Amino acid sequence: MNLTPDTSDAGSAALRARIQDRIDQKTKPLGSLGRIESLALQIGLILRSEQPLLTQPQVVVFAGDHGLAAHGVSAYPSDVTWQMVENFLAGGAAVSVLARQHGLALTVVDAGVRHDFAPRAGLLNRKIAPGTADALAGPAMSEVQCAKAVSAGRDVVRELPGNALLLGEMGIGNTSSAALLLARLTGEPIERCVGRGTGLDDIGLERKSSVLLDVLETHRGVEAPLQALAAFGGFEIAMLVGAVLQAVEQHRLVVVDGFITSAAVLVAQRIAKADGSSIVEGCLFAHQSDEAGHGLMLRALGAKPLLDLGLRLGEGSGAALAWPLIESAARLLCEMASFESAGVATRDEAPRVA
């Protein structure tokens, strides 16, 4: 199964050349739009078009609770997960405001929140269980639950319109899961992967690091990406993995938010490597967050983020903030005049001074 546009075959190489030539012929000095030019090229390659049109962009926030949160790895109680889901749906969260501002459809997915929500527009119930188990005592998810969550993430994407997907998450304790996945799948020391999450003080950060070190020891023999995902959780991360795999397989543009969504991409990338595929080329990384391990995560993926604003909110907020840059890059590729169409002289046509 080929999960991404194959940039190595002759067709993709030809498309790359045509898009690059189109960029170079725009009415500007060569390369003068900087990273916006490489962004436009990547958008064209992902959508397999010299004139890529971004249609019906979707923000999807996956939410789930974590059994590990009982060990004080977050500055906030687990109830904040369901309360924030309600805030998303009421339009009061940061991502809700940004989605409205930029005309982005917002869907919230209950992947495994410890709360029963009343059905309403904008909410999808895909609950696997009311929160994962305690990863310190055993696997956060069974292998069956993990597979079901990945499959559910794929199904969510299949059901959504459009060709652009902005991914976010909500789950008290999920920076711990992301840090554990980073440490286990890259070999980085857990101390370098752990951050303050929702705002832990120094004592809280020390406690969190100690707990996560014990979790890694509990699951010492777990190495494969899906096994690590099951061991460390959570349901929302597993659904994000499925969403990424499905979206890239369908050649949708995937805008990755922060630390937790990047952890899902890391797992998906390791799964894709099993059949020689790669998914990073199908993803745009919105920003580098202020969470300690995110820079390490991006380097492991070979990804260069669009923004660096010191964010650590999650919920897709960074992806929504990056959206105007992405939309601008696509529009410039499609709508900006060429030297020929505008009747503007090129550099080579400038008069020579004796």
Instruction: List, for residues 149-169, the tens digit of each pLDDT value.
Output: 999 999 999 999 999 999 999
pLDDT at 3 over 70: no
pLDDT at 113 over 70: yes
Q: Do 25 and 338 touch, CB atoms closer than 8 A?
A: yes
Could you state, in order of their start, the residue ranges of all structural domains in the chain? 10-53+331-344, 58-324
Average pLDDT, the chain: 94
pLDDT at 289 over 90: yes
Please state whether the peptide bond connecting residue 234 to the residue before it is cis, i.e. omega within 30 degrees of 0: yes
Which residue did the predictor score with more confidence, 146 or 353? 146
Q: What is the pLDDT of residue 352?
A: 61
Q: What is the pLDDT of residue 351?
A: 64
Per-residue pLDDT band at 32 (split at 50, 70, 90) = very high
Residue with tokens 């008290």: 172
Q: What are phi and psi of 349, to 5 degrees?
A: -95, 0
Point out the catalytic residue in the list 86, 188, 315, 327: 315
Which residue did the predictor score with more confidence, 64 or 347? 64
Q: Do 260 and 316 touch, CB atoms closer than 8 A?
A: no
Q: What is the pLDDT of residue 2?
A: 38
Which DSSP state fits 275? T
Q: What is the pLDDT of residue 129?
A: 98
Cα–Cα dist 287/197, whole Å: 16
Which tokens belong to 44?
Answer: 């064209």
Which DSSP state fits 348? G
Quick one: fold of 10-53+331-344?
Answer: 1.10.1610
Which DSSP state fits 344? P
Read off the pLDDT of residues 251-286 as tens digits, 9 standing for 90 and up.
999 999 999 999 999 999 999 987 667 899 999 999
Section 207-224 average pLDDT: 97
Q: What is the pLDDT of residue 11?
A: 72
- The question of whether 37 is a catalytic residue gets the answer no
Torsion of CA 20, 23, 24, 25, to 10 degrees: 120
Across 10-19, 21-30, 129-138, least confident range: 10-19
Architecture of domain 58-324: 3-Layer(aba) Sandwich (3.40)
pLDDT at 354 over 90: no
Q: What is the pLDDT of residue 8?
A: 47
